Amino acid sequence: MLREALEETLNYAKAYRASRQEAADWVLKNPASFEYLLKFCADESTDRSHKAAWVLEFVCKARMELLLPHLDLYYTIIPELKKDQAKRPFAKITELLCLGYYKDINDAVRSSLNREHREALTAACFDWVINEEKVACKAYSIQSLYYLGTEFDWVHPELKMILQEGYANHSAAYKARTRTFLAKIEKFQAGKRP
Q: How many angstroms separate the CA atoms of 91 and 35, rounded?
A: 19
- Please report the pLDDT score of residue 192 as a whole number: 64
Per-residue pLDDT of the chain (194 residues; tens, 9 = 90+): 888 988 888 877 777 788 889 999 999 999 999 999 999 999 988 888 999 999 999 999 999 999 999 999 999 999 999 999 999 999 999 999 999 999 999 999 999 999 999 999 999 999 999 998 888 999 999 999 999 999 999 999 999 999 988 777 777 877 888 889 999 999 998 886 43
pTM, two decimals, is: 0.92
Which pLDDT value is given to residue 194?
37
Distance CA 119, CA 169 (A): 28
